[in-house]
Amino acid sequence: MEVVPANEVACADLQTIFGSRGQGSRCQCQRYKLQRGESFAGFPVEERVHRLREQTDCGSPGSGATSGLVALLDGEPVGWCAVEPRTAYEGLIRNQRVPWQGRAEDKDDSGIWAVTCVFVRAGHRRRGISRALACAGVDFARRSGARALEAYPMTTTNAIEEELHVGTVGIFAEAGLVEIGRPTLRRAVMRIDF
């Protein structure tokens, strides 16, 4: 398996990962990218696809885009990890609960990066791809100059696979992140400082 920046793969490879049905195909990793005044239901999937393509600069190796990683298994696209400066996720910044409950931290600190999505293509789950993506996300953030990396995984293990597109506590713990908060019963805030 190889994990590469998303700009090094074709846009069609990203769509192969998200598929044509299910939560990934509908979300296109845009939930936390919503701008003020936008609602998730307020723009079609085609616009979400377009935004993801712009954010990743997919198909443009060497462009320097820092908006995600793609896992390739024998050259086939099988996983996605959204990782970039936390300030790039306006919807996350506006959220009053996750990750901010009980924390007094500067929301505009661009030195803190975030993993908001870890998604593995149907038919390739339970093979360690999520763990590889979480570890690669830590390395990518560190190499890109981040001072810290956060993730906001689900704490439950009995949710259906598609609901775990934010990852699990276990995969981030194996990547070196530690839990720093529990803003809800089902959500943890995990972090690693560099």
Read off the CATH number of the domain in which 64 is found. Answer: 3.40.630.30
The model's pLDDT over 59-116, given as tens digits with 9 standing for 90+, comes to 888 887 778 999 999 999 999 999 999 999 988 888 777 777 778 888 899 999 999 9
- The whole-angstrom separation of Cα 104 and Cα 113 is 17
Query: Based on the structure, what is the number of domains in the chain?
Result: 1
Question: DSSP label at 139?
Answer: H
- The whole-angstrom separation of Cα 27 and Cα 126 is 22
The first and second tokens of residue 125, run together, are 């789950």
Range of the domain at 169: 2-193
The model's pLDDT over 4-31, given as tens digits with 9 standing for 90+, comes to 999 999 999 999 999 888 888 888 888 8
- Judge whether 62 and 148 are in contact, CB under 8 Å: no
